Amino acid sequence: MDYLEIEGGYRLNGEVTISGAKNAALPIIAATILSDKAVVLKNLPNVVDIRTLLKLLAMLGAKVEHSDTEAKIDCSSITSTKAVYEIVAQMRASILVLGPLLGRFKHCEVSLPGGCAIGQRPIDLHIKAVEALGAEVSLEHGYVVAKAKNGLKGNKIIFDKITVGGTENAVMAAAMAEGVTEIVNAAKEPEVVQLCEMLDMGGAKIEGIGSSRLKIHGTNGKPLEFKEPIEIIPDRIEAGTYLCVGAITKSEITLKNVNTEHIQTSIEKLESMGCSFNIKKDEITIFPAKELESVNIVTAEYPGFPTDMQAQFMAVATLANKESLIEERLFENRFMHVSELNRLGADIWLKGNVAAVRPVKELIGAEVMATDLRASSALVIAALAAKGVTKIRRIYHLDRGYDRLEEKLSKIGAKVVRKKS
């Protein structure tokens, strides 16, 4: 199995080009199911999760051409509406095919995702949303079986809790429904916004894009049409991760192809830790702090501090001058990185969903294990600052969401190699 060997303690310098956002690309790939014509996607990140979803679409019968950052997906040839366990178990985001399959074909079967390293992650809100649009849903042999014999009908969907994937499935299901669907307490993440803009362009008119109240005018069974290629937005979490690399290694790093508006909370937190920035339209340079200040973080839905940046900031906070407090409010178990960071010499204490990160003078290389995508990137960040060599095992988690990580890090001077054991 591959592992990463990182020799830490070096200053880095240079430019990193940020890839397209995995979490924007996934629902957009799922949304191509709503069309019976070919759709071209550009600026896709070259990561395993994207390939997994494309494989699922191909298994459903879609014609998929994929090369590095581009894909042409033609869902006119779909013959199956069953998302099998083999794929869904590899990637929970496969649940995103529920809304579009049901919307276009009036039935589908999607395997229940099963366990997850960062928390329970139920899909009850996805199911309630499609039920509100008239689907009959049952659970059969580990599969969510959804049927809408006469097609989905627009209705009001009120989410008890803000859910990114739930909102995405709801808008995709509503896109080809009859009549108007209103979504209350919708997620406002940039990835949800791009999906809504795509559907709006494709023929399902959407009001309130970017707000918590969306109104979707369904096409009444008419497939959507995406004439122009869709360019995936830059990955705000990848960008935030490289800013954390700059902060912890005390390096000046410039990020290209970023949307700086999407990373405001990360910028503000790093400023409060003593870093400064030069911000241009789609470019940002971080200037490291002389001494890293402590930071207090509470994760929240967008535009709040992203849960997907919690682990990376925790890594940076280990070397701050005072104790930092980090509270995780979205996922109950998203602290798997704590014990691994402590193996690198960090001093982090957990109580419930709050981590107290006590300052240490230095981190020291060790063997650690990646547990989920963002936890893994926190280990990379810590390893880059740690004295000596760190070996990070189970890096298939990193490969799911970070495009050419070693290449990008090596280009700015990091000593990172991928090895096989």
Residue closest to ligand EPZ (Cβ) = 165
Contact 210, 255 (CB under 8 A): no
Q: How many residues bind ligand EPZ (CB under 6 A)?
A: 24
Among 104, 106, 126, 217, binds ligand EPZ (CB under 6 A): 126
Residues 340 and 54: their CA atoms lie apart, in Å, by 33
Residues 6+ apart with CB under 8 A from 206: 171, 196, 199, 200, 214, 215, 216, 217
Judged by CB, which is closer to ligand EPZ: 66, or 121? 121
Candidates 180, 192, 195; CA nearest to 226 is: 195
* Strands 2-8 vs 347-351: parallel, antiparallel or unpaired: unpaired
Q: Does 142 bind ligand EPZ (CB under 6 A)?
A: no
Q: Does 20 bind ligand EPZ (CB under 6 A)?
A: no
Q: Which stretch binds ligand EPZ (CB under 6 A): 66-74, 113-121, 209-217, 312-320?
A: 113-121
By CB under 6 A, what part of segment 317-376 binds ligand EPZ? Answer: 330-331, 373-374
| Tokens read off for 321 | 């001058």
Longest dimension (CA), the chain: 65
| Tokens read off for 144 | 């969510």
In the residue annotation, 75 being an active-site residue is answered as: no
Q: Does 110 bind ligand EPZ (CB under 6 A)?
A: no
Q: Which stretch binds ligand EPZ (CB under 6 A): 131-139, 149-157, 159-167, 407-415?
A: 159-167
Among 18, 26, 41, 243, binds ligand EPZ (CB under 6 A): 26
Q: Which stretch binds ligand EPZ (CB under 6 A): 104-112, 160-168, 335-343, 405-413?
A: 160-168
Residues shown for the chain: 421
DSSP-derived letter for residue 299 is B
Judged by CB, which is closer to ligand EPZ: 26, or 363? 26
Among 68, 124, 261, 268, binds ligand EPZ (CB under 6 A): 124
CA distances from residue 176 to 132, 172, 200, 206 in whole angstroms, order as listed: 15, 8, 11, 12
Judged by CB, which is closer to ligand EPZ: 26, or 60? 26
By CB under 6 A, what part of segment 82-101 binds ligand EPZ? Answer: 93
Contact 347, 382 (CB under 8 A): no
- Give phi and psi for 253, each to the nearest 5: -130, 135
Minimum distance from residue 239 beta carbon to ligand EPZ (Å): 13
Q: Which residue has the tokens 């407090």?
A: 325
Q: In what order do the strands lie in the sheet with 107-111?
A: 82-83, 107-111, 143-147, 136-140
Among 209, 346, 401, 416, binds ligand EPZ (CB under 6 A): 401
Judged by CB, which is closer to ligand EPZ: 74, or 399? 399
Q: Which residue has the tokens 């509503």?
A: 174
Burial group, residue 227, by CB count within 10 angstroms (0-12, 13-18, 19+): exposed
Q: Does 165 bind ligand EPZ (CB under 6 A)?
A: yes
Q: Which residue has the tokens 């298994």?
A: 59
Q: Does 308 bind ligand EPZ (CB under 6 A)?
A: yes
Judged by CB, which is closer to ligand EPZ: 14, or 303? 303
| Tokens read off for 368 | 């650690």
Among 51, 66, 121, 256, binds ligand EPZ (CB under 6 A): 121
Q: Which helix (H) or strand (E) holds 379?
A: helix 373-385
Judged by CB, which is closer to ligand EPZ: 318, or 371? 371
Choose, from 75, 108, 116, 275, the residue flagged as catalytic. 116
Q: Does 125 bind ligand EPZ (CB under 6 A)?
A: yes
Q: Is the peptide bond before 288 cis (omega within 30 degrees of 0)?
A: no
Minimum distance from residue 269 beta carbon to ligand EPZ (Å): 16
Minimum distance from residue 237 beta carbon to ligand EPZ (Å): 6
Minimum distance from residue 74 beta carbon to ligand EPZ (Å): 23
Residues 259 and 284: their CA atoms lie apart, in Å, by 9
Which residues of the shown chain bind ligand EPZ in the complex (CB under 6 A)?
23, 26, 93, 119-126, 161, 163-166, 191, 307-308, 330-331, 373-374, 401
Active-site positions?
Answer: 116
